[in-house]
A and B are shown apart, each in its own frame.
Chain A
């Protein structure tokens, strides 16, 4: 069955970087885009960026451009998101999801806490 399994929770200090992974299985990795969505505590869903594992094309929300890097390892069917220059308001659950329009499968989420 299709699965997206994300890496574990992270605690970082302001100014640090973090990388979260999203290991996929059960489908052809290159056939679907991977998107990243975050959710601050008690808040709604916020789209961050999208990557095509097929050709590496990426597109990020304007507010994250320059601070977020999306990559994939097609040999291992894993997607990665790196966020730099972390701030306390980056504290959130980060989700990966599969799809090029609607997102039909989601990872379980990775909690990031940014605190000094």
Chain B
């Protein structure tokens, strides 16, 4: 079973700052990784898939990189609406199995 580990658990940052969130897989997963943003009381929102491809309508300030076991999501200049919890997710095509990281909470400093 593949385990996804995100770091840090919580990040306190100021609007306008650049921030990087990390996700590590317990074994190589190529680029089968997605990132989601979840605000309180809402469903998750897909940000990035294939490790680095922004989903439709996602602003360019969000960028994903990585392959194998190490991945990151960078937000180039934090906006007020970006304060949320971020999850990485590994997906396996067959059998279809999906594993989420435990999340990183981005909070206002």
A113 contacts the other chain (CB 8 A): no
Q: Does B96 contact A61, Cβ atoms closer than 8 Å? A: no
Across the interface, A106 reaches (CB within 8 A) one of B44, B95, B101, B103, namely B44
Known contacts: A45-B44, A109-B43. The answer to whether A50 contacts B98 by CB under 8 A is: yes
A46 contacts the other chain (CB 8 A): yes
B12 contacts the other chain (CB 8 A): no
> Shortest CB–CB separation between residue B98 and chain A, in angstroms?
4
Q: Does B96 contact A46, Cβ atoms closer than 8 Å? A: no
> Shortest CB–CB separation between residue B25 and chain A, in angstroms?
15
Chain B, interface size category, equals: 20 to 34
B65 contacts the other chain (CB 8 A): no
Q: Does B102 contact A101, Cβ atoms closer than 8 Å? A: no
| Residue of A whose beta carbon sits closest to that of B47 | A102
Please give the number of chain A residues whose Cβ is less than 8 angstroms from any Cβ of chain B in the complex. 21
Find chain A residues with CB under 8 A from B99 CB. Answer: 47
| Residue of A whose beta carbon sits closest to that of B103 | A44
Separation of A51 and B80 alpha carbons in the complex (Å): 37
| Residue of A whose beta carbon sits closest to that of B45 | A106
> Shortest CB–CB separation between residue B23 and chain A, in angstroms?
13
Q: Which 4 A-B pairs have the closest CB atoms?
A: A102-B49, A106-B43, A102-B34, A47-B98
